[in-house]
Structure 1
């Protein structure tokens, strides 16, 4: 039995001797990935209410709406966006013909940006009153192109309402909607 044990140990030793020592690497590479998430999305904030003043039939009433701000936190390589604006009719009472100021009588001009941050170009839709537009259909209020990463812009637009002859006395309410995409 002792012979068999010695013969078995001799066989194991021969196999170990044939294998030799393993070569050790002196460097090693690890490919590492990570993800940068967007801090947020694309959003717009507007004043909840605005009173632009008063006037009589046949006059023009105008005033600033208050600050509108687009915040782009998408962290995009191409953070382009466009903000649009549109108005409803302005009505009082039951909204009959004499109690309605049609949206075709509502004009808007964005004015220049009052504050911006981030790279790229910020372009107002209507930088001066000479470029004011009727907003019975969506119109561009402000746009951003170029740059990378996050950005924001604020502006304080002016609304101009031409009150038609025959409009009755009252407090008129309409909705001006800003959207960003």
Structure 2
């Protein structure tokens, strides 16, 4: 009787498993969206003081962190940050009271931080590569990126003070933009 019981139990399991195996699977399509954000640049609020200098000499100093944040989540991400300067003036802004933008040089240096994928490239990695800001210059760029990314750098300004400059506090604006 013991042998019959084992055979009967085994047969019952085969029947039970056969019923489960014959059920048809059900597929459910699932979708979702990944939303893209924006491309933004943040710059130091200022004013940034570069110190003092004598006519015929140069002064330099760092502006503070400039950060590009790209949350567009693009398949092929790329951007270029640019910098340009106004002339710097004091008093009434006569020729002797103006330091032209062509006397203002900029170098981005290397990034202090980056996130995401792609090739991050400084516009001017070293002081020897500094460029005049009388026209728009590339400050930093990203090529070959994918998804979200960011870069932060601390650029340096160099002011060549003309021999004809007069005593005073000079004020101008360095503008960073992103495209």
TM-score for the superposition, normalised by structure 1:
0.82
1:7-57 per-residue CA deviation (whole Å, 9 max, x = no partner) reads xxxxxxxxxxxxxxxxxx94554444322112x211111111111111011
Aligned position for 1:42: 39
Aligned position for 1:91: 89
Q: Distance in 2 between matches of 1:93 and 1:147?
A: 47
After TM superposition, the structure 1 = structure 2 runs for residues 134-153 of structure 1, keeping only pairs within 5 Å, are 134-153=132-151
1:58-113 per-residue CA deviation (whole Å, 9 max, x = no partner) reads 11011111111111111111110100000000001111111100001010000011
- How many corresponding residue pairs? 156
Aligned position for 2:116: 118
Q: Distance in 2 between matches of 1:158 and 1:53?
A: 13
Q: Distance in 2 between matches of 1:47 and 1:170?
A: 23
4+ residue segments displaced more than 6 Å: none
After TM superposition, the structure 1 = structure 2 runs for residues 1-181 of structure 1, keeping only pairs within 5 Å, are 26-38=24-36, 40-49=37-46, 50-181=48-179
Q: Distance in 2 between matches of 1:63 and 1:85?
A: 16
Per-residue deviation at 1:147? Answer: 2.9
Q: Distance in 2 between matches of 1:166 and 1:85?
A: 26
Aligned position for 2:19: none
Q: Distance in 2 between matches of 1:144 and 1:99?
A: 39
Could you tell me which runs of 5 or more consecutive residues in structure 1 were left unpaired when the two chains were aligned: 1-24
Per-residue deviation at 1:117? Answer: 0.9
